[in-house]
Structure 1
Amino acid sequence: MTTTTPLGRTARQLRAAVLVAAVVAGSLALSAGPASASGKTSAGGDYRVTIGSTTYDPAPGKSVKVGGIVPTGRIAVRGVNNGFDIDVATLGVYDYTLTGAPDTQRMVTKPTVVFASKVPTLTPAQLAGATIKSLEVKDDTLVVLFSTAGGKFKIQAKDGAQGGIFQMESEFGAPVEFTHTLGAGLFYFVNQYTGKVNFGDGVDPVTSGAGAHQMLLGKDSPQVATKTLQTGTVTKWLVQSGGRLGGVLGEDAIELSAGATNCTSQCQAQNQIRGSLPVPPLPTNPTPIG
């Protein structure tokens, strides 16, 4: 039974408020530590990458490193927990999908498109001569670096069910606008416990049984970037040269971390925090922005 205080706030709300206050206080005392990717999975991940008619899928514990490839069409990245396509014509990422494979960390139980697209706005001159300068695939990790007549573009990904598992980084000597468009059924909302913008589908977690899953939650993770547009399904960011725009999924998306540093070289898919941060309660009845 829910108890109510004389001020009309439930005991559950008071506990949540105390927890959030503790998180805020704790985050002020923490500093950003070494950057590293942090995909979370209980069952493991394994990427394979198909370019044209060639698929790169190294044995467990082994890596494949190639370069000097002039790709045509889309590059297919497929993993156990997530997958997506890269279109060389735009250097954009399309149909970023969580597979829903069995895993204690999963947030969906069937293939779900989280992002319909993540696309940088680049001129024909910046895109000219796009070549894969280097591609490295090892187990659950992917790093691909494109070189063009106008600069460089890097994509890093982890085949995790959640965590800091995706990042795009541009180096064109000038700011680049990125547009994130969510998949069908997902929306951006303001988290009532943190005041930050998250995205999700509003579906509550299922804690047991064959259909068990955590709540689908995420956030854009910018570094040296400024948001220029926010709607219920789209965000736009102006990212400085050497900056990045990443994504964080799951519990990490709602914790009150200290935020990213102003890294513009050798940035990784997530900036970790020294120590352990409490996690606020899950959002309840999230409402789409706008």
Structure 2
Amino acid sequence: MKLVRYGQPGQERPGLVDADGTIRDLSAVVPDIAGAALSKARLAEIAKMDPKTLPVVPAGTRLGPCVGNVRNFVAVGLNFADHAAETGAEIPKEPILFNKAPSCIVGPNDDVVLPRGSKKTDWEVELAVVIGERASYVPEHDALSVVAGYCICNDVSEREYQIERGGQWMKGKGCPTFGPLGPWLVTADEVADVQNLGMWLDVNGERMQTGSTKTMIFDVVKLVSYISHFMVLEPGDVITTGTPPGVGLGMKPPRFLKAGDVVSLGIDGLGVQKQTVVAYHG
């Protein structure tokens, strides 16, 4: 299934995408695409429904982030061998983890706002994993059993804040609008091989990133299991798993986003996002 959340920011309602690409309202079935609704049992109940019995959502309705009420937004750094190479970094011996603020999550086509005074805001197309079952110390052979599905994340990053301001990476990762998720949450049963998905990102129509989840250093199985040894993963938690090469930081000279830029990105089977970059006003 492809699950969505639609409507105005903060007022999103649950929906699903039918075989014709029409969004159907799920409000009478689940309160939100969040928490307990992401369990295997609940998803199985939704999958048995005939989408044509559900109300149609008007075309052009805004899509919100595809998962709601995210409590933990965990990110993995330098997790693609070819991206590590472009930045001159050593291959990590264990996953590098950091937090993105849940408050940075926005819809897949919402504007990306440059932080006040930002000069080095960058793009990163990433595969995000959405947790469906509570997980603590989950072994690798069971790791995929706690995954509800997958979506696209643009791990927007302010490199000066991240690298030059001391402390942890989260400084450059959690600014408002720095976590577009969606357009859909694609349930795990529809993704045949999560480690063989093509990924791309364009800025103003120019291809910047081309990659594949096959070059991940630590795969989804490893990451879910590993992270669950350091924290309890709850239904609705999001893990964004790293980016392939082609980020602005790795260019010579580096290139960063400016107001008016349009960023488009996609992953095989998971849809496409499109954001306009705007200046901070406040």
Do the two structures share a fold, i.e. TM-score over 0.5?
no
- Larger of the two Rg values belongs to structure: 1
Q: Which has the higher contact order (CA 8 A, sep 6+)?
A: 2
In the superposition, the TM-score normalised over structure 1's length comes to 0.28
Structure in which a larger fraction of residues adopt strand: 1
In the superposition, the TM-score normalised over structure 2's length comes to 0.28
